[in-house]
Amino acid sequence: MNQDSPQQHVPRSQFLAERAFQTLERFLHIEAVSGIALLVAAAAALIWANSPVADSYHHLWHTPLSIGVGSFIYSQSLHFWINDALMTVFFLVVGMEIRREIHEGALSDLRQAALPLMAALGGVVAPALIYLAFNAHSDLQRGWAIPTATDIAFAVGVLALLGKSIPANIRIFLLALAIIDDIVAVLIIALFYSDGLDISGLLIAGFGVLMVLGFQKIGIGSAYGYVLPGAILWVGMLKSGAHPTLAGVVLGLLTPVTSMRTREQPLAILTRTASELSEKVLGSNTEPNQLVSPLKQLRFAQREILAPVTRVQMALHPWVAYGVMPLFALANAGVTLDGIDLSLNSAQRVMFGIVAALVIGKPLGVVGASWIAVKLRICRLPPNTDWSGILLVGLLAGIGFTMSIFIAMLAFSDEALLGAAKMGVLIASVVAGVIGLLWGSVYTRRRKAKIASV
């Protein structure tokens, strides 16, 4: 016998709470809001690091945080756990977005996918040459790699401020370029600023990748099942000397873009199980334990309706946008300006070389290399993208910040040169971000006018 299921009355307080949470959820999915949260966190860090209580800022991030099992204890600073562990989640989301685009989006065409690679290489070579033009002295040449890196978190955050009027392909292009940029920066660190990569670490990372592929092969669909192989991959990257956050990119690129193969389609499972569950709930002699199996099947079908790459990305997005990235900005944007001495000629050359390389060299290299690649028909521009959009990406790529400061700390042991390098990175990143926002506003207005005239 069929029975109607009329809506039940809920208390007014519950109704208002539901409306409030729905409004908050819609608000948090506005990309510009996440960009504002990131910039507010960065501004707060700068103010805090140059305030009378600046010591508390640096003391906080150097606070040791330990994890351990039994006699094994691993201790690192809070700064390490944010930059090297928590940011892996951000790179995981980025890797999954790139994976989706490779499968069915802007990077699915080989000629189109080659464009961000060529642009990234141009964005590495041009800034390095401009820096060396300012700093021909042998002691200063060690800083050539400082302006080659793009800070992916800040670049994407600033782009988000422009809202959804920016074509999705522009964002994907910036993500791909910044990831390639970071990979090149890691290779530069390994080849020029360290003793090289540890093979044993790479073997551990390789074992983690094999575990991921093996789990996929035997049909483990729950994201929680991949925490262990992901952790092994992260440890391997850390031990190898590569930046461990690259483990997130690797995991993201390995995430399946189609749902797990099942004997019955997920939608068919939902329909059949919902009907069975309805009959059992309405039955008078149904035991509670009889509902366990259909409920389990419902949860499985609900999970497999969406492909893993989409499902995990949607689940992690709010945590990354409003947790990981602002915390990253708060921990890294606090450059102390007090004590930086620019009276030395060498310090001035380092600072101006970095500013010119990031603000001028980055867009010049990105746009120039892209133009050459397109003219030579090596690749082509993404759909709904023109050279104004490529210029926007080039300008935002000039936001070096965290990775550039990290390379500066490896390049210079002299406090005066290191201080000048940090100042140059800070100035260049702010200038590049502001110019990028201004050009982005012009670009979006032109696009809207063009669309309206069609």
Instruction: Write out the DSSP string of 363-420.
Output: HHHHHHHHHHHHHTTS--PPTT--HHHHHHHHHHTT--HHHHHHHHHHH--SHHHHHH
Residue predicted with more confidence, 231 or 339: 231
Domains: count for the chain: 2
- Looking at the fold, whether 282 and 427 belong to one and the same domain comes out as no
- Looking at the fold, whether 245 and 187 belong to one and the same domain comes out as yes
Residue predicted with more confidence, 129 or 66: 129
Range 420-448 average pLDDT:
91
Question: Alpha carbon of 107 to those of 97, 119, 362: distances in Å?
Answer: 11, 14, 22
The 3-state DSSP class for residue 64 equals strand
Q: Tell me, what CATH number does 325's domain have?
A: 1.20.1530.10
- Looking at the fold, whether 276 and 311 belong to one and the same domain comes out as no
Question: Alpha carbon of 132 to those of 138, 147, 261, 295: distances in Å?
Answer: 10, 11, 54, 65
For the stretch 251-285, pLDDT in tens is 998 988 877 777 777 777 777 777 777 766 666 56
Whether the predicted pLDDT of 212 surpasses 70: yes
- Looking at the fold, whether 277 and 390 belong to one and the same domain comes out as no
- Looking at the fold, whether 292 and 314 belong to one and the same domain comes out as no
User: What is the C-alpha to C-alpha distance for residues 14 and 25, in angstroms, rounded to an integer?
Assistant: 16
Across the strands, what pairs with 147? none
For the stretch 398-411, pLDDT in tens is 998 877 887 888 88
- Looking at the fold, whether 321 and 272 belong to one and the same domain comes out as no
For the stretch 347-402, pLDDT in tens is 899 999 999 999 999 999 999 999 999 999 888 888 788 899 999 999 999 998 87
Range 120-133 average pLDDT:
95
Across the strands, what pairs with 77? 64
Residue 219: inside a domain: no
For the stretch 149-205, pLDDT in tens is 888 778 888 888 887 778 888 888 898 888 888 778 777 877 787 666 788 999 999
Q: What is the DSSP letter of 76?
A: E
Residue whose structure tokens are 């990253």? 328
Residue 202: inside a domain: no
- Looking at the fold, whether 407 and 387 belong to one and the same domain comes out as yes
Expressed in angstroms, the distance from the first to the final Cα of the chain is 57
Which residue type, as a one-letter code, is found at position 192?
F
Of 44-58, 142-156, 281-295, 373-387, which gets the smallest average pLDDT? Answer: 281-295
- Looking at the fold, whether 46 and 71 belong to one and the same domain comes out as yes
The 3-state DSSP class for residue 246 equals helix
Residue whose structure tokens are 């012009």? 442
Whether the predicted pLDDT of 2 surpasses 50: no
Residue 3: inside a domain: no
- pTM for the whole thing? 0.77
Residue 21: inside a domain: no
Whether the predicted pLDDT of 63 surpasses 60: yes
- Looking at the fold, whether 276 and 357 belong to one and the same domain comes out as no
Whether the predicted pLDDT of 1 surpasses 60: no
- Looking at the fold, whether 314 and 366 belong to one and the same domain comes out as yes
**CA–CA–CA angle 376, 377, 378 (5° rounding):** 90
What percent of the residues of the chain are helix, what percent strand, and what percent coil, each to the nearest 5? 75, 5, 25
Supply the pLDDT for residue 366: 96
- Residue 326's domain spans which residues? 39-197+241-259+306-453
